[in-house]
Amino acid sequence: MSFTAPIQLPGLSLDPQWYRRAVFYEVMVRSFVDSNGDGTGDLGGLISKLDYLQWLGVDALWVPPIFTSPLRDGGYDVADYRSILPEFGTLDEFRELVTKAHERNMRVVIDLPLNHTSDQHEWFQQSRQDPEGPYGDFYVWSDTDEKWPDIRIIFTDTEDSNWAFDPVRRQFFFHRFFSHQPDLNFENPAVHEAVFDVVRFWLDLGVDGFRLDAIPYLYESDEGNGEGEPPTHEFIKALRAMVDKSYPGRVMIAEANQWPREVAAFFGSEEEPECHMAFDFPVMPRIFYALRSQRADELVAVLSETTDIPPGAGWGVFLRNHDELTLEMVSEEYRQAMYGWYAYDPRMRANVGIRRRLAPLLDNARAELELTHALLFSLPGSPFLYYGDEIGMGDNIWLPDRDSSRTPMQWTPDRNAGFSAADPGKLYLPVVQSLVFNYGHVNVESQLAQSRSLLHWVRNVIHVRKAHLVFGLGDIEVLQTDNDSVLAFVRRYQGNDAHGGIHYNDQPETVLCVFSFAHNPVAATITAPGMAGSRLYDLFGGGVFPSFDENGSLTLTMGTQSFYWLHAG
Ligand code: NOJ
């Protein structure tokens, strides 16, 4: 497979707010390509596929943890923050990844779990053995496991308490996640110093930023629920100040699975900024809800809520990632409905969510795959793709926990889907061989050979998005429609957005985005007095559409589960 370089849009390199118009791609090193035949993906493999990612239109990689780890939580259980798990590669190879990505105008953002470490980490080993020693106070120890009963359990499938007894120190330690992942004690200033050192270490290696894993959970208190406590925000502010001062242009992305206002708190304020970006957890499940309920109202409500965020801050939007499709941000009634639609087999559930990939969730329906991607690429914020979803990869619900959707990337119909030359039995996880998603036909090579494949479609929509800065930089106004199944919003960009000394030197633009979730063709009348007389044409093919009338009313007919992106002028 060879890929010619795509046309370069104005470079991201000089723009301190590059992340606002970047397309991100989450790539698990372990799952992408195995370059040395040991059955596990590695950095060499990822480097060998940078051309593919560039061809696809990816601007930034999000790389889940690659540190030394016992891999009991996909690497989010870090045993040493300053070394790379040998089966993934070396620090030199990591440097090479950064260099080669940068040569392609692509950024590298790594995951940084700071809330907790693995119990294998040297800090924890010393802490449990020597309470009076330098690491004695690095973790949250207690003589009782009854402290903070209001702090909820996150991994409900495996944990029944946030405390675990350590037989060596003969005390309980606090853990928000697995019981092999003790929480670091942020009350201890030495922990701050250690964490700052880790951050500097990776910034010095050239990374363009961090996804701050589990960031709401740093501090606990008797009064709060351990999520977004005031000192947690103070810590993030201090981290941001250090990053801005010493490493301008690098980005901090908050993983905060919370309601919009609480998530927005992780942006901080203009005077005291925290993260540059935060994932939009509330909008994601509502996309899936709309698909099956055929109603747009939940999306209308969440998108109409005005959550003010500081200038320069941006959302990260996503459909799926390496975790379960979390249903924490929906009501119990809607959660049950979604379990019924999307996780009818109990094996498909994990914690408070669904452990399936995008294409199986959507029953491999092409219209739904297009509709969801069209939303992903036009909502306010920067889109985050999950590796393999661009070819509609399947999952394997017979594997435990979230491994169901972390199987090897499917490159070709050859042995191990072209992921690895190892004996198939040696792979870290088996490749998907299901009836519908078998790697024999769901793979990059075969989709490259079909001009109408999902892969080509996704690449095209990415390039259309990137040609219109309004999607990355514009604001949003949700419009009224007379059809419950139809969502309409307008994205507006004033042009010449100036920030950090950079002028994009581009034109103002207005784009009307309309989505029908109905399972049959429908007509919808959209009302937008501000758009009276606006003429419309399709962003993909240039086709001319009916204009808004003089009262700002427009009637459109829509095919089953279809969408329009229309330039308005
Ligand atoms: C969030 C990560 O996304 C998830 O994969 C991990 O299990 C938890 N943090 C705990 O580390």
pLDDT of 132-141, one tens digit each? Answer: 999 999 999 9
Return the residue whose CA atom lies nearest to atom 4 of ligand 1.
323
Cα gap 506→551, rounded to integer Å: 30
Residue 356 and residue 348 in contact, taking contact as beta carbons nearer than 8 Å? yes
Tell me what pLDDT residue 132 has.
98
Does residue 502 register a pLDDT over 70? no
With bands split at pLDDT 50, 70 and 90, how would you rate the model's confidence at 501? low
Average pLDDT over all residues of the chain = 95
Tell me what pLDDT residue 505 has.
64
CA 176 to ligand 1: nearest atom: 10
Average pLDDT over residues 418-444: 98
Tell me what pLDDT residue 254 has.
98
With a 6 Å cutoff on the Cβ, whether 119 touches ligand 1 is no
Tell me what pLDDT residue 520 has.
98
Distance in Å, CA 178 to ligand 1 centroid: 9
Tell me what pLDDT residue 307 has.
79
Average pLDDT over residues 158-178: 97
Distance in Å, CA 281 to ligand 1 centroid: 14
Does residue 500 register a pLDDT over 80? no
With a 6 Å cutoff on the Cβ, whether 299 touches ligand 1 is no
Residue 516 and residue 485 in contact, taking contact as beta carbons nearer than 8 Å? yes
Average pLDDT over residues 234-255: 96
Structure tokens at 274: 């925290």
How does pLDDT run across 514-565, given as a tens digit for each residue? 999 999 999 999 999 999 999 999 999 999 999 999 999 999 999 999 999 9
Cα gap 361→343, rounded to integer Å: 8
Residue 184 and residue 115 in contact, taking contact as beta carbons nearer than 8 Å? yes
Q: What are phi and psi of 511, to 5 degrees?
A: -130, 130
Average pLDDT over residues 340-362: 97
Tell me what pLDDT residue 259 has.
86
One-letter amino acid of 362: L
Does residue 493 register a pLDDT over 50? yes
Cα gap 21→12, rounded to integer Å: 9
Average pLDDT over residues 470-480: 95
For the chain, helix (H) and strand (E) counts, in that order, are 16, 27
Does residue 34 register a pLDDT over 60? yes
Tell me what pLDDT residue 261 has.
83
Tell me what pLDDT residue 496 has.
73
**pTM (2 decimals)?**
0.97
- Give kind and range of the element (H or E) at residue 141: strand 141-142
Tell me what pLDDT residue 498 has.
64
Cα gap 134→456, rounded to integer Å: 55
CA 181 to ligand 1: nearest atom: 11
With a 6 Å cutoff on the Cβ, whether 113 touches ligand 1 is yes
Task: Name the nearest CA neighbour of 477 among 510, 454, 521, 525.
Answer: 510
With bands split at pLDDT 50, 70 and 90, how would you rate the model's confidence at 44? very high
With a 6 Å cutoff on the Cβ, whether 65 touches ligand 1 is no
Average pLDDT over residues 489-495: 93
Tell me what pLDDT residue 6 has.
47
Query: What positions carry a catalytic annotation?
Result: 213, 255
Return the residue whose CA atom lies nearest to atom 6 of ligand 1.
76
With bands split at pLDDT 50, 70 and 90, how would you rate the model's confidence at 308? confident
Does residue 360 register a pLDDT over 50? yes
Tell me what pLDDT residue 9 has.
42
Does residue 203 register a pLDDT over 50? yes
Cα gap 18→25, rounded to integer Å: 15
With a 6 Å cutoff on the Cβ, whether 74 touches ligand 1 is yes
